[in-house]
């Protein structure tokens, strides 16, 4: 864990039994009944945001913005079988992740999240308790980040679950950070370590295949997943329950630090560094030896005969912050142990390059990241 964000507990055997014994189909309580239950969970997030004058319950949410602050807005959609798999993802974790991925985009602007609107398309096979599990993850994460769930919409879905989150954040104009402000000769900095979420995804995919094979062969599936995967806990947690770097944004605000450019790493270090460089019209040279990859991630890569560096470069779903600062400002960030300097910006003509451990320069544009629309 890299921040103080406490985990929502996954459904244990005990409360799963409770959920099953009190199974209630959504048709039994109807749309308004469901909204009442969701509103009760959303209400617990309201005290942290007094500027929200009206939450769920009217036609619109009402928010009173501060005259001194800019607002930033983002939206992100999670779709069953595209962004997650319910065979390997507890609903509570998924709810939390839907919030974190949006908070991460707000943080990438050096802003803090204030409120969110949540739209759900729910398959008819879902019970009321399953929707509540999902929403408990949503409201728990919202409270951890200090944002309010101000409203939303629910619909039935004829295919899989879809969660769409829109989020509003705020930042003082003098702290607002875009992707476009970097200049040649600045330091390229990164929060946290990379590769863990990709390692977690590979492990979960392997576990799912083992389970499906057992089912196909009519064998009982007796693996105690949590016991067997204990040593991989951190990587799986980073995949299922990413934590946006709101701690780093709070650090920036406390020290009045404005990076010259910033982006969150949702696609992977390589593609997101290229995005930042393109918007800033600079090149970059990063150093393989400086990219933080945990020993535990390298061990998993060895076990799966995969490559931790390529996970770090193109794995995606990291939700760490990648930013640039002028060299003279380094002392201001030096005390923050979550931040590593991994390279420097160069003239745009140099391109975006990785210097490997032998000093060979590799053009990062030749390495592909995760593509939502693969050809």
Task: Please give the residue ranges that form the binding site for Mg ion (CB under 5 A).
Answer: 105, 264, 266
Nearer to Mg ion, 105 or 344 (CB): 105
Tokens linked to 369: 């990241």
Calpha distance 13→11 (Å, rounded): 7
Radius of gyration (C-alpha) of the chain in whole angstroms: 22
Q: Cβ 277 to Mg ion, closest distance in Å?
A: 15
Calpha distance 110→321 (Å, rounded): 10
Q: Cβ 104 to Mg ion, closest distance in Å?
A: 7
Nearer to Mg ion, 284 or 321 (CB): 321
Calpha distance 169→250 (Å, rounded): 13
DSSP string, 215-244: HHTT------HHHHTGGGHHHHHHHHS---
Nearer to Mg ion, 55 or 197 (CB): 197
Tokens linked to 245: 């770097």
- Going by their DSSP bridges, the two strands 112-123 and 148-157 should be labelled as parallel
Nearer to Mg ion, 34 or 103 (CB): 103
Of 296, 280, 287, nearest in space to 190 by CA: 287
Nearer to Mg ion, 129 or 276 (CB): 276
- Where residue 336 falls (left for φ over 0; alpha for ψ -120 to 50; beta otherwise) is beta
DSSP string, 36-74: HHHHHHHHTTGGG-TTEEE-BTBSS-EE---TTEEEEEE
Q: Cβ 318 to Mg ion, closest distance in Å?
A: 11
Nearer to Mg ion, 105 or 317 (CB): 105
Q: Cβ 75 to Mg ion, closest distance in Å?
A: 11
Of 88, 321, 111, nearest in space to 209 by CA: 88
Q: Cβ 352 to Mg ion, closest distance in Å?
A: 17
Nearer to Mg ion, 139 or 260 (CB): 260
DSSP string, 95-120: HHHHHHHHHHHHHTTT-EEEEEEEEE
Q: Cβ 108 to Mg ion, closest distance in Å?
A: 5
Nearer to Mg ion, 240 or 244 (CB): 244
Q: Cβ 211 to Mg ion, closest distance in Å?
A: 33
Calpha distance 197→94 (Å, rounded): 14
Place of tokens 């400086």: 290
Nearer to Mg ion, 76 or 288 (CB): 76
Calpha distance 240→89 (Å, rounded): 7
Q: Cβ 278 to Mg ion, closest distance in Å?
A: 14
Q: Cβ 323 to Mg ion, closest distance in Å?
A: 12
């Amino acid at each position: 864990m890299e921040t103080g964000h406490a985990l929502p507990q996954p459904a244990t055997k005990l409360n799963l039994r409770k959920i099953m014994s009190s199974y209630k189909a959504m048709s039994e309580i109807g749309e308004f009944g469901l909204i009442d239950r969701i509103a009760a969970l959303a209400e617990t997030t309201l005290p942290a945001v007094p500027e929200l004058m009206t939450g769920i319950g009217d036609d619109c949410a009402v928010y009173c913005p501060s005259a001194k602050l800019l607002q930033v807005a983002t939206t992100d959609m999670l779709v069953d079988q595209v962004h997650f798999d319910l065979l390997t993802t507890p609903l509570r974790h998924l709810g939390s992740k839907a919030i974190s991925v949006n908070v991460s985009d707000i943080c990438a602007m050096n802003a803090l999240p204030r409120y969110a609107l949540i739209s759900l398309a729910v398959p008819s096979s879902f019970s009321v308790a399953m929707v509540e599990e999902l929403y408990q993850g949503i409201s728990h994460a919202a409270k951890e980040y200090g944002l309010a769930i101000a409203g939303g919409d629910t619909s039935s879905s004829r295919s899989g679950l879809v969660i769409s989150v829109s989020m509003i954040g705020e930042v003082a104009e003098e702290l607002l950070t875009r992707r476009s402000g970097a200049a040649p000769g600045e330091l390229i900095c990164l929060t946290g370590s990379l590769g863990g979420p990709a390692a977690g995804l590979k492990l979960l995919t392997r576990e799912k295949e083992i389970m499906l094979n057992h089912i196909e062969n009519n064998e009982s599936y007796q693996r105690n997943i949590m016991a067997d995967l204990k040593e991989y806990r951190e990587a799986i947690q980073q995949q299922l329950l990413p934590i946006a770097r709101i701690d780093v944004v709070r650090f920036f605000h406390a020290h009045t630090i404005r990076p010259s450019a910033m982006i969150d790493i949702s696609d992977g270090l390589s593609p997101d560094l290229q995005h930042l460089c393109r918007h800033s019209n600079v090149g970059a040279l990063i150093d393989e030896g400086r990219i933080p990859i945990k020993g535990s991630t390298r061990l998993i890569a060895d076990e799966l005969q995969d490559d931790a560096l390529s996970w770090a470069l193109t794995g995606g779903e990291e939700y760490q912050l990648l930013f640039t600062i002028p060299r003279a400002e380094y002392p201001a960030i030096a005390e923050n142990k979550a931040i590593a300097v991994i390279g420097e910006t160069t003239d745009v003509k140099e391109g975006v390059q990785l210097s490997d451990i032998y000093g060979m320069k590799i053009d990062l544009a030749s390495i592909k990241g995760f593509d939502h629309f693969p050809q």
